[in-house]
């Protein structure tokens, strides 16, 4: 049985690890000519940490990043809007919320895969699907055949574009700059988000002395000129925000900035197409507001491997995966988009009303929402 995975990102690598541990060999085809330590930080919520524990990866990952004791939302003056103590969920789910540099997570995943599993410089251009196989065509002129195709090629998935041409990325209404900077004197162990009139600013410690941050500003339409923003352009936007935001921006060099408009996918109705299956961002790309993009991809990997072991027909595995994952990933995508809309409110009166309402909500309300997010069965 030949299983092809398109994409060596978090979804593709985790899926390959889970399948290999289930006794299923696979080949990953990656478009990039080399795998480089790219990206910024990301959070792995307790649901993802539980999944990684199933794969035996937690201890190594814990050594690379930072446990997050709490998640706080502040206004631009530094006053608390909401607070979430992660210890509440640790006792129930047996896992912690965690932050790590994307490149460090990627390296851990790569280290668990045989080097001959990943084929680089294999950008998929097209494919033909037959009942018993899929033929892949790559940009270097080569082809490959597989019995089953797992599409882990992200929000701009070539595979999804063919099986669901109407499913295109949708703009969320805001753009984002990210960076990881050295802050050797920082002892921060909480994740913070500041919601203010200029936009949203998040601060997440990813290891001792290293801070990951993101700065989101509402922009009505995508604007490619924003890629030319320098740190000098970004500093004035947040100069009136509380400390340490100005200090963090002043520590940033232009080459550290990563810019992207924010997109997601409108929830799909299908993931399975005979011997082809969509996973990760190819299936359910979400805005980053709940910190669940990588988490849902990791859940996909573990659940797919578990189902694969239980069935004699792979097509049945794919159909059961679709049935099990559609409702949950659709919930995450929808909730994440709503949170982004609320967080990006710029009107001063509406923002003040939002903050006042959130401050008086009981802690149980927030805990209920987070528990629904973290509650996953493997």
Q: Judge whether 252 lies within some domain.
A: no
Structure tokens at 114: 């045989």
Q: What pLDDT shows up at residue 322?
A: 98
What torsion, rounded to 10 degrees, do the Cα atoms 2, 106, 122, 280 define?
Answer: 60
Using 50, 70 and 90 to split pLDDT, how confident is the model at 96?
Answer: confident
CB 162 within 8 A of CB 70: no
**Is residue 316 in a domain?**
yes
State which residues form the domain around 108: 3-66+100-169+265-345
Task: Note the pLDDT of residue 86.
Answer: 74
The answer to whether residue 13 is domain-embedded is: yes
Q: Above 70 in pLDDT, residue 91? A: no
The helix (run of H) or strand (run of E) holding residue 329 is helix 314-343
Average pLDDT in the 265-277 region? 97
- The C-alpha atoms of residue 275 and residue 149 are separated, in whole angstroms, by 6
Q: What's the whole-number mean pLDDT along residues 195-219?
A: 94
| Secondary structure class of 26 (helix, strand, coil) | coil
- Structural domains in the chain (count): 1
d(CA 246, CA 241): 7
Decide if 82 is inside a domain.
no
Number of neighbours of residue 327 by Cβ within 10 angstroms: 10
Q: Is it the case that residue 189 has pLDDT exceeding 90?
A: no
pLDDT digits (tens, 9 = 90+) for 317-329: 999 999 999 999 9
By mean pLDDT, which of 132-141, 246-255, 368-377 is the weakest?
368-377
**In the predicted model, what is the mean pLDDT of residues 56-76?**
92
17 within domain boundaries: yes
Q: Domain containing 38 — which CATH number?
A: 3.50.50.60
Q: At what angle do helices 293-310 and 46-54 cross, to 10 degrees?
A: 40
Cα-trace Rg, the chain: 21
Q: Is residue 95 scored above 90 in pLDDT?
A: no
Mean pLDDT (the chain, rounded): 93
Q: Residue 246 domain-assigned?
A: no
Q: Is the pLDDT of residue 87 over 80?
A: no
User: Minimum mean pLDDT among 14-28, 74-88, 201-215, 307-321: which range?
Assistant: 74-88
């Amino acid at each position: 049985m030949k299983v092809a995975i398109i994409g060596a990102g978090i979804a593709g690598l985790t899926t390959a690890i889970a399948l290999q541990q289930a006794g299923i060999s696979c080949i990953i085809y990656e478009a990039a000519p080399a795998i480089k330590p790219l990206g910024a930080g990301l959070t792995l919520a307790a649901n993802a940490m539980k999944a990684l524990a199933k794969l035996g990866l937690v201890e190594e990952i814990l050594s690379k990043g930072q446990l997050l004791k709490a998640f706080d939302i502040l206004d631009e003056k530094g006053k608390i809007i909401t607070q979430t103590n992660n210890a509440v969920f640790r006792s129930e789910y047996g896992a912690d919320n965690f932050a790590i540099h994307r490149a460090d997570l990627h390296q851990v995943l790569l280290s668990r895969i045989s080097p001959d599993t990943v084929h680089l410089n294999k950008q998929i251009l097209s494919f033909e699907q037959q009942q018993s196989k899929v033929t892949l065509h790559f940009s270097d002129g080569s082809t490959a055949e597989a019995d089953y195709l797992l599409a882990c090629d992200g929000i701009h998935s070539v595979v999804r574009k063919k099986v669901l041409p109407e499913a295109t990325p949708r703009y969320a209404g805001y753009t984002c700059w990210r960076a990881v900077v050295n802050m050797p004197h920082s002892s921060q162990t909480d994740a913070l988000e500041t919601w203010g009139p200029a936009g949203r600013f998040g601060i997440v410690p990813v290891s001792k002395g290293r801070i990951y941050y993101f700065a989101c500003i509402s922009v009505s339409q995508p604007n490619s000129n924003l890629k030319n923003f320098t740190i000098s352009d970004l500093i004035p936007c947040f100069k009136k925000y509380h400390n340490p935001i100005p200090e963090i921006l002043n520590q940033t060099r232009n080459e550290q900035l990563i810019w992207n408009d924010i997109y997601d996918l409108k929830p799909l109705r299908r993931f399975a197409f005979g011997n082809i299956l969509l996973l990760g961002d190819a299936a359910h790309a979400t805005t980053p507001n709940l910190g669940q993009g990588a988490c849902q991809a990791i859940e996909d990997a573990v659940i797919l491997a578990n189902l694969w072991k239980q069935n004699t027909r792979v097509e049945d595995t794919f159909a059961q995966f679709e049935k099990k994952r559609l409702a949950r990933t659709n919930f995450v995508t929808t909730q994440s988009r709503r949170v982004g809309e609320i967080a990006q409110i710029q009107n001063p009166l509406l923002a003040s009303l939002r903050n006042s309402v959130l401050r008086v909500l009981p802690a149980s309300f927030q805990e209920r929402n987070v528990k629904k997010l973290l509650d996953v069965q493997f």
